[in-house]
Chains A and B, each alone.
Chain A
Amino acid sequence: MALGAAAWLSAASATSTGAQTLTIVAPAAPGGGWDQTARAMQRALHDVDPHAAVQVENVPGAAGTVGLARFVSAERGRPDALLVIGLVMVSGIAMNGSAVSLADVTPIARLTGEHEVIVVPADSPHRTLQDLVATLRRAPQSVSWGGGSAGGTDDLLARLLAEAVGVPPAAVNYVAFSGGGEALAAVLGGQVTAGVSGYGEFAQSIAAGQLRALATSAPAREPGLDAPTLREAGVPLDLANWRGVVAPPGISAAEQNALTARVRAMVASNAWKDTLRRTGWSDLYSDGPAFRQFLLAEQSRVMAVIARLQAGRATTPSGVTPTSRTAPVVAVTLAAGLAALLVWQRRRPGRVTPAPSTPLARAPAGSRRVAAIAAACLAQAVLMPLVGFVPTAALVFATGACALGSTRLLRDAVIGVAVAGALALLFGVGLHVPLPMGAWLP
């Protein structure tokens, strides 16, 4: 019953085939801002043309750079694919040393954005942004900034702000939390001096009087918020956590224009306007040469601040404070040392043999059977996209059963196909997660 209902639910959002197709790649896991953008686009495009077949594909990883790299190589020349990008990807490319950059894709349009707000706890001695800047200039380390992940919009704003008031970006004491939620808790609890995040994330706490907004990073005042912009507060800076879409490399100018026209029509739809109203995203639409210019400018300022940050960090002596490298070094050294100690303890003449916890642990090694199972699993990883899930899963099943002592290979293969088929149905129809069916099926 659950599956039937789920199938009905997914059918409610599914699109018919046969008309114009489009694949929107969200370079993040479901639930985040890029995924929400992709799914809102899917809905709005459906509103514009109910016959269009629009698919959303999630390729998460490393601030979107994994998705970007795959998009550039796998979709090259395809005029029916879009990738959702944003400010965080620009800094991700710089921070991860990604080989692929936004110069490798075809710009289409900037869609939405969210501006940032700088807050302090209601009982903070810093009444205005000028107070905070004064403390920052005097003792940069004493001002701790709480925000989202390192290299994200919040981190960039804190460092760009420091640079704009003459403090080196590497001197900023930025404390990264897992997203705006944890940062909000840290500001409310007075753990950090100031908080930086998207306005939406702090809006309720500001309205409830728990937090004081010092400034926003928008070019104009946010409606309903009694706080100056950074420019009004004397800092020549604005920053938006913008999101947009790009097309694959190697498409013609005509194809680029056609995609731009489709996106422009989507932005004009009621479904899209409704999404903006519900989510509170600002409409930052721009396309054509203006968007290309914006992308170049954004890349150069983000790359510059990250380069200065990384250079500054390399020269700072760390002292007794652990850095990002401390834990891996300690853990790997300990593991290696303990492994050596264990081998020595067990090889020592006259050792006390620890009783094997299970008889299996001392059984003669059936290493060929172990290798066969591992090979079948690896084969599934490699072959699944090519020949589909059902044959590879049947292979894993048959190999596993035989390695564990079953003698009827054919029967096991048949059971394997049945199990795999049932799983494919369950995932594809019930949970809306289609398993790869291979190139040989339509």
Chain B
Amino acid sequence: MNAFAALAEGFQLALAPANLGWGLLGVTLGTAVGVLPGIGPALTVALLLPATYGLDPTAAFIMFAGIYYGGMYGGSTTSILLNTPGESATIVTALEGHQMAKRGRAGAALATAAIGSFVAGTLGTIALTVSAPAMARVAIAFGPADYFALIVLAFVATASLLGSSRTAGLLSLAVGVVLGLVGIDRLSGDARLTFGMPYLLDGLDPTIVAIGLFAVGETLTLAAAPPGASHVLPLERTRWMSKSDWARSWKPWLRGTLIGFPLGALPAGGAELPTLLSYAVEKRLTRHPEEFGHGAIEGVAGPEAANNASAAGTLVPLLTLGLPASATAAVLLAAFQQFGLQAGPLLFQNEPQFVWTLLASLYVGNVLLLLLNLPLVRLWVLLLRIPAPQLYAGILVVATVGAWSVHRSAGDVVALTAIGLIGYALRRADCPLAPVMIGVMLGPAADMHLRRALAVADGDWSVLLRRPLAGGLLLTAALVVAGPALWTRLRRDPWNAPRVQ
């Protein structure tokens, strides 16, 4: 069947008043749960699944897709305003976004996040429509060795985040890896760094680590400072994006989409990797390197676009192969089963109307989200008018209840406090916090993929170079490390063309 005719038919169904209503409900709910730390789209869909039992599957999935995309939009709001990421995919947004908010530029940060999410979500959905089967073939060609090489590349690309003191930056990175490794090792089933505590067996949730380090740690640091020292600046008069903000945002949006969509389609890629890579790319390409770490708009625009494009990418393996690449996708797969739909290679043949309506509703959902979120920007920034003591006290309450609600366990609140104290200690010791999150997100993944690669290759290390994908990625990583130095050497080489003074 002609894909575009089918898509047009899908739009007709998605725009039917009832389905539009379900979509609106989904995006509103999704935005709400994205804003709240802890409860994410995966949990929301799982909780609503039994309630949708009697619903028509198309209507239910239009709502679920709205929740999924809406969660990605909402998660950035709290990252920017309160330094408490709602989702693991918006942790990176907090790095520059909250710095912008502190400098009175919350409006511009929220706007570039919302518009960037819309651009990336729409482009990602277009890519999903036209390239899903081809993309899926590329995605499954990725083996454990290739994943390991990709993570090495990400480590190298983010090395500039280590800050001015290499020792302090590496210490933060190592602390992050240690925190990330806590829990049962998936490959062997062995408990690692749990010290006999059953609570630690499931590991530390990256979102809780981020909220503890950023929000609780910052509150503690402020408390340690002399009373009255508030460093939240009043809002700038221009609450919107200026001309230069637009000029500095549109390229990061497109680059973020290019990075986010393919990495989102990788079955074991995870949601954090694309945002981290996009941040690193923007930091390297920016014309305003001095602003990074102090609220550079590129550092919000890129990761936010990457995050939404990867959400679209995640649907590629889900719809074409029936394999979930994220927690939300796993719940969506369970939802497919509840409605008697088999996600997988035959879905497009067996249920074409359902698939195309779902795809059409993704476009519609993106428009709805933009319409919902742009007016909200003005409302959200009012939060920052609250005086610092009450604002940070409120952040503490939201952070603790968010941590509790993930597993409904007091252990998560204790962990949050302990990580907050670690964050406080690191700040006092002048250690940067971003490398801790890099360690948490990439360290355990590197360990897992390396051991998996070696197990598949029966202990043969050469697998890392023999596979073209892995070898190519590792070569790129080596070039990123050695490239700048080599380049300078070549330019200084007397046998090359002498530099004209």
Contacts and interface: CB of A to CB of B under 8 A. Distances in A.
B396 A377 contact: yes
Interface string A56-77: 0011111101100100000000
Nearest to A10: B51
A45 to B, nearest CB: 12
Interface stretch (B42-50, B115-123, B249-257, B373-381): B42-50
A335 B393 contact: no
Interface string B327-339: 1011101100111
What size tier do the contact residues of chain A reach?
Answer: 35 or more
A223 interface: no
B321 A184 contact: yes
Contacts of A258: none
Point out which of A185, A200, A345, A435 has the most chain B C-beta atoms below 10 A from its C-beta: A185
Nearest to B198: A66
A416 B164 contact: no
B292 interface: no
A32 B230 CA distance: 45
A431 B36 CA distance: 10
B193 to A, nearest CB: 5
B156 interface: no
A366 B190 contact: no
A203 B344 CA distance: 9
Contact of B396 (A207, A321, A396): A396
A292 interface: no
Interface stretch (A123-131, A172-180, A249-257): A172-180
B234 interface: no
Contact of A149 (B189, B192, B193, B447): B189
B393 A324 contact: no
Interface string B375-411: 0000000000001111011101110110011011111
B204 interface: no
A13 B239 CA distance: 42
Contacts of B432: 357
Given A29-B407, A62-B201, A149-B189, A374 B443 contact: no
A182 B401 contact: no
B33 interface: yes
A189 B227 contact: no
A9 B230 CA distance: 43
Contacts of A290: none
B184 A393 contact: no
Contacts of B139: 185
B46 A61 contact: no
B159 interface: no
Nearest to A423: B401
A57 to B, nearest CB: 8
A234 B410 CA distance: 51
A39 B414 contact: no
Interface stretch (A238-246, A262-270, A380-388): A380-388
B322 A184 contact: yes
B28 A324 contact: no
A280 B337 contact: yes
B46 A31 contact: yes
Given A181-B267, A335-B175, A404-B392, A321 B454 contact: yes
Contacts of A96: 184, 189, 191, 201
A39 B188 CA distance: 31
A35 B221 contact: no
A181 B323 contact: yes
A367 B225 CA distance: 9
Contacts of A63: 184
A369 interface: yes
Point out which of A179, A205, A404 has the most chain B C-beta atoms below 10 A from its C-beta: A404
B15 interface: no
A378 B414 contact: yes
A403 B223 contact: yes
A176 B459 CA distance: 16
Nearest to B178: A331
Contact of A58 (B181, B190, B199, B408): B408
A307 interface: no
Contact of A361 (B36, B321, B428): B428
A221 interface: no
A360 B428 CA distance: 8
Contacts of B397: 393, 396-397, 400, 416, 419-420, 423
Given A342-B167, A345-B167, A363 B429 contact: no
A83 to B, nearest CB: 16
B222 interface: yes
Interface stretch (B90-98, B416-424, B474-482, B491-499): B416-424
B129 to A, nearest CB: 21
Interface stretch (B78-86, B140-148, B272-280, B363-371): B140-148
Contacts of B141: 189
B17 interface: no
Contacts of B202: 60-62, 66
A279 interface: yes
A357 B430 contact: yes
Would you list the 10 A-B pairs with minimal beta carbon distance, nearest first? A204-B344, A400-B393, A30-B46, A405-B227, A150-B189, A181-B323, A2-B28, A381-B413, A335-B174, A189-B140
28 contacts: A2-B32, A29-B407, A35-B46, A39-B49, A39-B50, A176-B189, A185-B142, A192-B456, A204-B342, A278-B340, A325-B190, A325-B192, A327-B443, A361-B427, A365-B224, A365-B428, A366-B225, A369-B223, A370-B220, A372-B223, A373-B223, A374-B421, A385-B410, A400-B392, A400-B397, A404-B222, A404-B393, A412-B393
